[in-house]
Amino acid sequence: MTGTATRILFVVPPHLTFQDFTNPPYNARHVLKRDGKFYGNLLTDMPLGILSLSAYVKKYSRTEIEPRLIDFSVELNQAEDFPYKSFSEYFECVIRNATNGVAPDIIGISALFSPSYYSLLDIANVCRVLFPRSIIVAGGSVCSTMYRQILNDTDSFDALCYGEGDKPFLGLIEADDRRAYLDASATWVTKAKIDAAFQPAHDFVENLDEIPFYDYGLCSAEKYGINPAITAYAGVSEKGNNFHVMTSLGCPFHCTFCASHKVHGRKMRYYSISRIKEDFLLLRDKYGAKTLVVQDDHFMGDPDRALEIVNILGDLGLKAVFQNGLALYALKREFLEALKKAGVENLLLSIESGNENVLKKIMKKPLKLPIVQRVVDDCRELGIYTNANIIVGMPGETPEDIEIGRAFLNTISPNWFMIFCASPLVGSEMYEVALSKGYLKEGYIGSDYKRAVIETEDFTSEYIQEMSYVLNLELNFVNNSDMRLGEYETALKGFENAIRAKHDHAMAYYYAGQCYERLGRRELAEKYARTAREIYEKSPFWKNYFKMLGVTPEFAAEQRPSEEIAGAILAAPGRTSHSKSIFGYRKD
Residue 44 C-beta: closest distance to ligand B12, Å: 7
Binding site residues, ligand B12, CB under 6 A: 15-16, 43, 45, 47-50, 52-53, 108, 110, 112-115, 137-142, 145, 161, 164-166, 169, 229, 246, 258-260, 263-264, 295, 297, 323-324, 425-426, 448-449
Give the H or E element holding residue 419.
strand 416-421
In the complex with ligand B12, the residue whose CB is nearer, 48 or 234, is: 48
Closest approach of ligand B12 to the CB of residue 166, in Å: 5
The helix (run of H) or strand (run of E) holding residue 371 is helix 369-382
Positive or negative: CA dihedral 215, 221, 223, 229? positive
Least distance in Å: CB of 55 to ligand SF4?
23
For ligand SF4 (CB under 6 A), the number of binding residues is 7
Measured distance between the N- and C-terminal CA atoms of the chain, rounded to whole angstroms: 66
Q: How far is residue 413's CA from residue 529's CA, in Å, rounded to a whole number?
A: 25
Residue 380 phi, psi (nearest 5) = -60, -45
Nearer to ligand B12, 212 or 337 (CB): 212
- Other beta carbons less than 10 A from residue 325's beta carbon: 19
Query: By CB under 6 A, is residue 145 in contact with ligand SF4?
Result: no
Instruction: Tell me how far, at minimum, the Cβ of 389 lies from ligand SF4, in Å.
Output: 10
- Indicate the SS3 state at residue 570: helix
Q: Which does 406 bind (CB under 5 to 8 A by kind): ligand SF4, ligand B12, none?
A: none
The nearer residue to ligand B12, 49 or 513, going by C-beta atoms, is: 49
- Minimum CB distance to ligand SF4 smaller for 107 or for 327: 327
Q: Are strands 188-189 and 159-161 parallel, antiparallel or unpaired?
A: antiparallel
- Closest approach, Cβ 126 to ligand B12, in A, equals 16
Tell me the C-alpha distance between 205 and 265, whole Å.
12
Q: What does residue 11 show for φ and ψ, rounded to 5 degrees?
A: -130, 135
Q: Is 64 helix (H, G, I), strand (E, B) or coil?
A: coil
Cβ distance to ligand B12 smaller for residue 229 or 515: 229
Report 279-318 residues binding ligand SF4 (CB under 6 A). 297-298
Query: How many residues are there in the chain?
Result: 588
* Cα distance between residue 490 and residue 414, in whole Å: 11
Residues contacting residue 407 through CB under 8 Å, at least 6 positions apart: 354, 573, 574, 575
In the shown chain, the binding pattern of residues 242 to 281 toward ligand SF4, with x for contact by CB under 6 A and - for none, equals ---------x-x-x--x-x---------------------
Q: Which does 426 bind (CB under 5 to 8 A by kind): ligand B12, ligand SF4, none?
A: ligand B12
Binds 229: which of ligand SF4, ligand B12, none (CB < 5-8 Å by kind): ligand B12
Type of residue found at 113: F
Which element (helix H / strand E) includes 87? Answer: helix 87-99
Answer with the entry of ligand B12, ligand SF4, none that 298 interacts with (C-beta below 5 to 8 A by kind). Answer: ligand SF4
Residue 453 interacts with, from ligand B12, ligand SF4, none (CB under 5-8 Å by kind): none
Task: Rank residues 66 and 534 by Cβ distance to ligand B12 and give the closer one.
Answer: 66
- Inter-axis angle of helices 303-316 and 333-341, to 10 degrees? 20
CA distance 577 to 399: 7
- Give residues 114-133 in contact with ligand SF4 (rule: CB under 6 A): none
Contact positions toward ligand SF4, by CB under 6 A? 251, 253, 255, 258, 260, 297-298
